[in-house]
Amino acid sequence: MLESVSRNLQMYYSSQKVLWKDIATYRAQFIVWIFVFMLSTISSVITITIIYDVSSGVAGWSYYQMLVVSSLANMMIGLVLYNISPQRLARTMRNGQFDQRILKPYNPVVTMLSLYGTKTSIGSVISGALVFGYAAYMTGISVIGLFEMLMIFALGVVSLTMFLLMITLLSYVLFNSAGYMQWVANIASRAAQYPLTIYGLPGILLFTVGLPVGLAAFYPSALVFGKISPISIVLVIGIEAFTVAVYYYACKWLTKKYRSGGG
């Protein structure tokens, strides 16, 4: 088992090196798209600043606390899209290119996550990290609090990544198309910018279980700012671990249902 894990991790690492070398061939284009992804973070900061300038803001959340939530959301979406692009994966399924790769002796889930991401989304991660660092400093987050927050954030990112991969595969198996799954990522990006409490109980349930965007952005922030109890966060971590396992095995099952759309 350890040998298999090591082999799959090596394949992922090697794939990233090759993809980044390809990207380096078109540096100007890559820089432009990096900047485009950075704009999502910039627009979020501007929107939040306007909200707090013209109103009392979001009840119970200060301006810098909101920046923490928003920046985590941008980092989350950037990391998810870095590993899985629904449109790109669906396109290779339809034209038959996916067949060549899925037959290789590697974990099919790792194969998909290593080859079908949008590398320019790293721009959202960079800009989100810069805003997060500034906001975390202004809110006085401790080192321990930062560690706890990032641990929950990491599990949440993995959960959302596996969720997006699962529904992309499900969409392809059912409809032979998954391009519109990109809309799900867009909805996730928008919804995660704000504390889940503004959506009411139905929204909290939807964005925790149905579309797990709150796991990586809202709950880590809510814990470190004392909005929820440590006991509640244990439940959140349990949900994260459970959903990762469920989505992972669902992806493996759906991969077996895959039928080539091309040749």
* pLDDT 10s digits, 126-138: 999 999 999 999 9
Burial label for 118, CB within 10 Å (0-12, 13-18, 19+), is buried
Residue 62 has pLDDT above 90, yes or no: yes
Residue 119 has pLDDT above 90, yes or no: no
Distance between CA 258 and CA 178 in Å, rounded?
A: 13
Average pLDDT over residues 150-169: 92
* pLDDT confidence of residue 40: 85
Burial label for 73, CB within 10 Å (0-12, 13-18, 19+), is buried
Residue 236 has pLDDT above 80, yes or no: yes
Lowest-pLDDT choice from 32-36, 60-64, 72-76: 32-36
Residue 221 has pLDDT above 80, yes or no: yes
Average pLDDT over residues 110-115: 85
Residue 114 has pLDDT above 60, yes or no: yes
Distance between CA 147 and CA 156 in Å, rounded?
A: 14
* pLDDT confidence of residue 177: 67
Residue 249 has pLDDT above 90, yes or no: yes
Distance between CA 81 and CA 248 in Å, rounded?
A: 17
Percent of the chain exceeding pLDDT 70 equals: 95
Cβ(80)–Cβ(211) under 8 Å?
A: no
Residue 207 has pLDDT above 80, yes or no: yes
* pLDDT confidence of residue 179: 64
* pLDDT confidence of residue 172: 81
Coil, strand or helix: which one is 186?
helix
Tell me which residue of 178, 238, 248, 245 sits closest to 208, measured CA to CA. Answer: 238
pLDDT band with cut points at 50, 70 and 90 for residue 65: very high
Residue 262 has pLDDT above 60, yes or no: no
Please report where in the chains the tokens 């038959």 appear, as a residue. Answer: 96
Mean pLDDT (the chain) is 86
